[in-house]
Structure 1
């Protein structure tokens, strides 16, 4: 009797039942990076999720470290004992029941509006990543294989430039120095490219008057004539201002990211701008897709698995974008090596992702919670072949960074509040110009 091909290999998934979950908030040093909401605080906050099985496997996830979010993640974690790591529908159901309609608004306002469904997806994402890490370990395959296989063997990332001060007030100057004019922005880019080999460059705008940011982009084009360039003012501009900048930089930019707020505002700019518009702020949930795409408000969506509900939902987003003829890139926030690994597996499995992804990796220096973190070489990260995410927790580093979280005294990211401690009269305005 001939065996059926689909019965030729039986995979033993015993031992993938969740025994316990540990959520550890951590902090790491961050430079004074400026944005439309204010300035980054001296410590960035993250939370590390460890999902442990009855067989001794540990799956890793990474998420935001703000105290209200961590409390919600821990509430969800307490409901997962006994669930099989392969049961992602069950995972979603248990977390939805635990979150129960909570809406956690963020203080920095740089990832679009907050809703109960978005809060749920923010909580779910870290657990889904950890379960995929467990699944990969259980079947001895990398996560990218669980997501459909490799569309690429290495994932390109972009240099992420910021206007910044030389130091936090009262602190020592950091290794990057001040960057408040075009020449300093070029110097920052050159150092980052020399170290990491990036072939695309993104400037976080909305900080200086638009004409100065145009000058910075022009200076970058002169210094790096072959690099793709992007500019992201985080909704700092009125539509007319955005159209003016887009017209002036039409021969320079790959895309202009979130120049103005709302789907309606982006649609107005897109109808008059000669270059593509990208977003991670007006398309932040599937409910946004039809109105935004029907209005042709955006031509590129920056996926972010941390608030789209994880890796599989981000692949769904990429497929939807492809169906509408919309491009895909990847958004980044201050993150550590677990997130970089998850982003790499996701981008490798998404053929629709044709723009280099964002990453904050250069800004965290040597701080990380994983042993031998993935490296950016020639502007790209090689997709791991090891089982699961392919990274291992550094428990000594985790303990140190947990202690830093306790000592630093910061419990929520608050770019606006921090800038007000330096300039009490400062107000974030939208639009600013």
Structure 2
């Protein structure tokens, strides 16, 4: 067998996204993703997926050029390739990342986000070549299915008038009744038994009422609330006190490790994060200050599946729980999440996933949730296949865009409906 990388194909796409609200604004009608294909000299193709914004594309193209001629099995070498690519620091924002609400963005985070897409593609190609599933390449699965949580959002019925967008059948969710109705759809369609609400949209009392309504409608089911750092320490503690009897955990109520540590000291409610711990360098302060009790990994910006395993091992060492964060993603990413999650021993919290919100995909067959779980594939590689007609269609949409949608910007999307909108400073409440 010849494991040499003979070609790398990069296909930026735009996929439909519903009008989901968060503290920074609203999702655009289409969001950019990038599909990575790594082709070996034997003609085996591995696929990966990552962010498709312009700043990522500027790095993936030179990365792809340097990958040709290397061994698809040289996963450690991917980081060497990334180091060879000079990153123009002036292109990297120091503000909160609009695309994922995941803390201050740095050149290193951008680099790891690029590596992750190629690592998954290489693992897929290697698994197909060897006839082994990705979870076997990662050391073997410890579960046959991975549990996911319903990801609830405050949502408009449709994108603003005059905006070209795909229609969806979810309807609006702007009050407790709407949130509960949305949760019922999730349970009926996918069998989810735990629920996470994206908060930071309305004043805390309204979001407290929504969680209370969920607790009444689904008694005993795990509930989570994530305001993306929109609250002060005082507000965070008040909400924790109000909802302490029903919350599984409170995710990033306040912004930054010092504020999270202050909240953690004064409440028994576990705190989770995908904002103040997003790199290995941030672990020491957060863990020594006991600022978080659950870290939500995301292989896209932690640098891939093997780095996710390393993070899980560190969390286990320090007695910190681990689960998975999600951003807008397609089936390739869900397959990758499922494979690595299947190898993590102490995964005691259902993972997040946006996948039910995405009506479009690039796979010949969508992944399915049964009882809120995704079965772990034992097929070679990731166990998924590209639908080239769909990939071409979504790429044409990207080509035909005038540039406004090629970078996700929730604030700009909100200004279509409210020209005066500016993302509120934090703490918002």
TM-score tier (shorter): over 0.9
Q: Tell me the SS of whatever aligns to 1:312.
A: helix
Out of 101, 104, 110, the residue aligned to residue 92 of structure 2 is 104
CA contact (8 A) 1:99 1:120 kept: no
Structure 2 residue aligned with 1:127: 118
- Tell me the secondary structure at the aligned position of residue 55 of structure 2: helix
Partner of 1:417: 412
CA distance in 2 between counterparts of 1:330 and 1:221 reads 23
Give the conservation status (yes or no) of the 8 Å contact 1:50–1:59: yes
Instruction: Tell whether 2:380 aligns with 1:380.
Output: no
Aligned-partner Cα distance in 2 for 1:107–1:127: 23
Q: Number of aligned residue pairs: give it.
A: 419
**Which runs of structure 2 are paired with 1:156-235 in the superposition (5 Å)?**
156-170=147-161, 174-235=168-229
Distance (Å, rounded) in 2 between the aligned partners of 1:192 and 1:75: 41
CA-CA distance at 1:29 after TM superposition: 1.1
Q: Distance in 2 between matches of 1:91 and 1:36?
A: 35
**1:19 and 2:6 are equivalent in the alignment:** yes
Q: CA deviation at 1:109?
A: 5.8
Q: CA RMSD in A?
A: 1.3
* Structure 2 residue corresponding to 1:404, chosen from 397, 400, 415: 397
| Partner deviation per Cα, 1:258-285 (whole Å, 9 max, x = no partner) | 0010100000000012210000000010
Deviation at 1:94, TM superposition (A): 1.2
Whether 2:130 is the aligned partner of 1:143: answer no
- Show CA shifts across 1:149-201 (max 9, x none): 11110000010000011111115863111110000000000011100000110
The whole-number CA distance in structure 1 between the counterparts of 2:123 and 2:86 is 21
Aligned partners of 2:92 and 2:106 also within 8 Å: yes
> Contact conserved, 2:247 with 2:269, CA < 8 A, in 1?
yes
Contact 2:31 2:406 in 1 (8 A): no
Q: Using the TM superposition, name which of 347-356 and 178-187 deviates more.
A: 347-356
CA–CA distance in structure 2, aligned partners of residues 342 and 401 of structure 1: 21
Q: 1:387 to 1:360 in 2, by over 3 A?
A: same
Matched, 1:263 2:254: no
Equivalent residue number for residue 282 of structure 1 = 276
User: Per-residue displacement from partner, 1:59-86 (whole Å, max 9, x unpaired)?
Assistant: 1100001122112111211111110011
Name the CA distance, whole Å, in 2 between partners of 1:168 and 1:114. 28
Cα separation, 2, equivalents of 1:314 and 1:83: 23
Whether the 8 Å contact between 2:100 and 2:327 is mirrored in structure 1 is no
Give the match's secondary structure for 1:177. Answer: coil
Q: Which runs of 5+ in 2 are unaligned?
A: none
Cα distance 1:22–1:104, how it changes in 2: closer, same or farther (>3 A)? Answer: farther
2:334 counterpart SS class? helix
How far 1:119 moved relative to its partner?
Answer: 1.3
Partner residue in 2 for 1:253: 247
**Deviations for 1:272-305, whole angstroms, at most 9, x for unmatched residues?**
1221000000001011101000000000000000
Distance 1:174 1:100, change over 3 A: closer
| Cα shift readout 1:378-421 (whole Å, capped 9, x = no counterpart) | 10000001000110111001000101222344110000111123
Shift of 1:26: 0.8
Give the match's secondary structure for 2:147.
strand
Q: 2:299·2:307 contact (CA, 8 Å) conserved in 1? A: yes
2:347 pairs with 335, 353, 361, which one?
353
Following superposition, the deviation at residue 333 of structure 1 comes to: 0.4
CA contact (8 A) 2:11 2:34 kept: yes
